[in-house]
Chain A
Amino acid sequence: MGRTVERRKILSLILLFGAISLFASGVKRVDVQFSTPVFDEDANRLHLELTLTNRTSYAIREARVYYREKGEANFNWERMEPQGFRYFAVLNTGQLNSNLMEYYFDIEFEDGLHQTYPDDAPVASLLSYALPQLETPDENIIIISPEPGEEIYTDELIITVSFPRFSAQIDKERIRLFLDTWEVSKSRFFQVFDDFLTFSPNRIPPGKHRIRLELYDRGGKLLARTEWSFVAHRRTGPRALTEALSVSGNVFLESRQEVLQDGNSSTLYNRAGWDINGSFGNLLFGTRLFLSNQERKDRQPVNRYSAFMQYSFWNNRYLRVDVGDSYPIYGPNSLQNIFVRGYYAQLFLKFLNLEFTQGYIQRAIDMQVPAPGDTVLGTYQRDLTAIRASFGARRKFQLGFSYLKGIDNTSSINGKAIEPPKENLVLGSDIYLASADQRFVLEGYVNASFINNNITGGSIPFDTLRSSLPDSGKGLEDIYNTAKQFITINQYLSLIPSLAYQIQARGRFFRNYFTIVLQSIEDGYFSMGQPYLLADYQGFSLTDNINLFRNQVFLTVGFQRFQNNVKGTKSTTTVTQSSYLNISYFPTGNAPSITIGFNNYKRGNDLDKPPAEDNTEEIDQLELPESNNTNTFNFSTSYSADIMGLDNQFTINLMSFQQRDDFYQSGNSNSGLVSFITRTRFQFPLITTLEVSLQQTESAKGTDVENRIEMNNFGFGLEYQLGRLFIRSDNLTAALNAQIGTVNSVIQNANQSLKYTRAFVSGRLIYNMPRIGRFSVNADFINYTGDQAYVDYIVTARYDISF
């Protein structure tokens, strides 16, 4: 009895530490403060911001946001741009089919370790955001003339576009139609009616032209946007199309001084880079470079460099070659989310496509011997070769076959490595089927993985193998000789491959967008091209996104169930089950938008009681019973109002989190969050923000480790822009943001408490002069007082130019 109670106490303490670290970051490397996302309706972009306070001497190499539409199995990712303690990302949400997006953040440190936010992402919890969705232009905006790519005479142009489905919603006065850069919706040749518009000028210049149409509702919200181009010829004959060289890109230089851990850690980061793309006739080319003074031989690469060249043949067929660092994607189970330093070639002919990747995904690090007799532990260079052949243009059909081989190069270092050298072979096939209008899409990936966990010494001789299998005939030798060409054969090779598959069906019917995903990854499945894949995982997910009332109401319902113990070799099976409902109302008129969401998450195994009390052996984690249920409810509302000539946007968020554990009372937890944000745009170039948030968490109530954490935060921001300083088109932006918050953590029965105040001030000066560039200085300052007292600051100077 006493032993069980002891175990419960230990488990409770682990949970308690987990909870505290979530908020107070006593254990984690960085303290994560996540700001409410801001959605830019005009650009259809979601702006995300994190404030990271590093509590260790391990520098943050990179922060990324991983995102996907609800119901999808795979994540996309975007690198976050650092600005002092804050990291920013802008996501293009225009390509998402679903109204509900889920995402999480991944912070990678210089030693290769990762921290995620939320902590248990992406397995157990993700953040979500309800997006007002733009209508799909191809269905709802009918381009009558000129058609995309059409060739006409210069005196023939008449732009006609109809939008019958929007007739009830659009504000005719707000429609914007652009011919190239000219806004023709202000022209006398422009006519707009309830369900269509026309623009019929007398004549336009010859050449290629681009048309952009934007439709807005009465509240000023962008409903839909579409772009297309056409070519106009003179009646006397065509002007020869010149194949002029076109180059665009951006270059940056940055210097950042970080003083952290109350002055104990001071690091200067100097970085520079460029991203340049160009075209010349059918040739596209580009180069990317990122250089940092943090690049060191004893670390994985920080610098990044790549160049590509693509030659387009007829009808979108092309040959492309990337050298340097590339991010090839072959499939979710084989090669994705990893950079390869080497080269990547792609021949896309539609009926036959070939992809080839070769390079390394892990740099060799040969550690120096600190003293005679010390163990030398380094890292092998991990080489990767991958080939994928596919048939079909992936519009209606594609069938692909892939091969991936990864191997640790044992001769890449002189000493020993932390882990024995490995070799990995992944074979796979994938299929893509879609209806002509893309309303129905079926995708499937099947992969088999072989892993040899120690290839030291190479393959064992066949005679040795035959001695252990004396009855084997000539056939075994043939198999041995063939298999040896692909993977090292010894006692560490798993002869039976581990399988992974993913089948996804997506459909868009009657204003529903549904997704069904079946996924299975056997225990032991591993691909060096996708090393972060969660193994021993099987289940399904169903999601339906429904648009109602002319895209004013979005309903998302879904259910997913996954379990481990795919091969049935473990003593227990843990099942996770999640059901969710989200409803968003984005009114066309000037009324508040509302989002209400509910999520239920259950996790449990098939044990119904704790291990026997007299069990004196070491208790395996699998023998602990598990059954918990978590409900999350969130509500948010946002309203834009013009008050006394000021453009105000008010946002209120409420979140309630409740976790119940059937076996361990210490696992019970309640949490509530309220936040209020107001953003005001004045008639002169001033924007102010005001933010208040209150959060309270109560855990393990009624136990001897009962604790309570209260976090209150208040923030305000000012941003002012001055124009025409030296020339007509330059401007200077000055911004100041400040946040002050208190954290009060109390462990009830242990009579322990932690109380501190966190003040964060950030100032920014940006001077922007077209053609010359953008200069910015950013200073961030964090001051902790109370039971945790220290001061950190970061100063950054940066220059950017785009051309």
Chain B
Amino acid sequence: MFRRITSFLIFLFLLSVTPGLYTASDYVAVVIKSRGRVTLMPKGKTRAIKVQKGQLLRDGDRLETGTASFCAIKFLDDKSLLRIKENSTCVIEGKKEGERIDKNILVEVGSFFASIFKQRGKFLVTTPTSVASVKGTKFWTIQKRNGPTIYIGIEGSIDISNEAGRVLLRAGQTGIVTSKNQLPQIRLTDPSEIPSEGEGSPKTQILEIEFKSPDGGQKTMRIEVIQK
């Protein structure tokens, strides 16, 4: 009898301390900014919904931005950021592995900026021509419709691979992949190629205008403006 009670108590104790018995939600990311026409097609559905800030994303959700539109999402495990520019389409894949989320952005078309700081799970960007594997970096992915993929390294390094092999893209370099059977071509980035980040956070700028009177007096008007 005593052994049974002891076994039961041990079971209860283990139950109370075993984290695996609890389930977490199946959301993997959240939309933190959304401007213009941004739609979401949940996995397995045929009807798109309009996306607003706060929209939660599951594995397999498809995001699409229209003209003059913009969207930014953050992943829930390590706050990795993905900015999606206008006329872009991608599928957000996120597989939960314990406290991590292994992420894969399936890019169909458009311009995407990824910023990863304290990475927890894997972060991949998959395009029709290649796969970019990322570890703590900032980079652009530009996918032309039925055309090449352009990667632009801003910080850190990116491992780009396809059926032809793999190359390492560093900050300040641009990699162009024309097909999945050809190795990426690496060259130095022309700054004019880097897309603007789209609608970001407000940045304060001070504009000073000096006035001079005929008698030599001088006054300065200071105007604080927000850069959009």
Contacts and interface: CB of A to CB of B under 8 A. Distances in A.
Nearest to A167: B24
A196 interface: yes
Interface stretch (A152-160, A349-357, A618-626): A152-160
A164 B19 CA distance: 11
* A-B CB proximity, top 4 nearest: A200-B54, A168-B22, A549-B17, A193-B25
Given A151-B201, A160-B74, A164-B76, 16 more contacts: A142-B76, A143-B79, A144-B76, A152-B201, A152-B202, A160-B32, A162-B77, A164-B99, A168-B19, A193-B27, A196-B25, A196-B30, A200-B53, A235-B226, A589-B16, A591-B16
B21 A238 contact: no
Nearest to A196: B76
A47 B202 CA distance: 45
B79 A142 contact: yes
B27 A238 contact: no
Given A158-B32, A198-B54, A145 B74 contact: yes
A194 B25 contact: yes
B13 to A, nearest CB: 9
A237 B225 contact: yes
B33 interface: yes
Contacts of B176: none
A153 B72 CA distance: 14
20 contacts: A142-B77, A144-B32, A150-B201, A151-B201, A151-B204, A152-B201, A158-B54, A160-B30, A160-B32, A165-B99, A194-B24, A195-B25, A196-B25, A196-B30, A198-B30, A198-B54, A200-B53, A238-B226, A240-B224, A550-B17
Question: Of residues A152, A158, A194, A550, which shows the largest number of chain B Cβ atoms within 10 Å of its Cβ?
Answer: A158
A158 B16 contact: no
Nearest to B21: A168
Interface in B65-79: 74, 76-79
A144 B22 contact: no
A628 interface: no
A164 B24 contact: yes
A429 interface: no
B16 A588 contact: yes
A552 B24 CA distance: 20
A233 interface: yes
A195 B30 contact: no
Contacts of B204: 151, 233, 238
Interface string B192-222: 0000000001111000000000000000000
A164 B77 CA distance: 7
B202 A153 contact: yes
A150 B201 CA distance: 8
B192 to A, nearest CB: 27
Given A144-B74, A144-B79, A240-B224, A198 B202 contact: no
Given A164-B77, A167-B24, A237 B32 contact: no
Contacts of A158: 30, 32, 53-54
B6 interface: no
Contacts of B76: 142, 144, 160, 162, 164, 195-196
Interface of B: 16-17, 19, 21-25, 27, 30, 32-33, 53-54, 56, 74, 76-79, 98-99, 201-204, 224-226
Interface residues of A, number: 36
A195 B19 CA distance: 12
Contacts of A153: 202
A164 to B, nearest CB: 4
B27 A196 contact: yes
B16 A587 contact: yes
B45 to A, nearest CB: 21
Interface string A168-196: 10000000000000000000000001111
A167 B21 CA distance: 11
B226 A144 contact: no
Contacts of A588: 16
Interface string A126-145: 00000000000000001111
A203 to B, nearest CB: 11
Interface string A561-586: 00000000000000000000000000
A93 B157 CA distance: 42
A160 B16 CA distance: 28
Contact of A195 (B24, B53, B224): B24
Nearest to B27: A193
Contacts of B99: 164-165
B226 A198 contact: no
Contacts of B17: 549-550, 552-553
Nearest to B75: A144
A227 B51 CA distance: 29
A156 B56 CA distance: 16
Contacts of A587: 16
B77 to A, nearest CB: 6
B55 to A, nearest CB: 9
Nearest to A153: B202
B22 A194 contact: yes
Contacts of A144: 30, 32, 74, 76, 79
Nearest to A145: B32
A162 B204 CA distance: 30
A591 B32 CA distance: 40
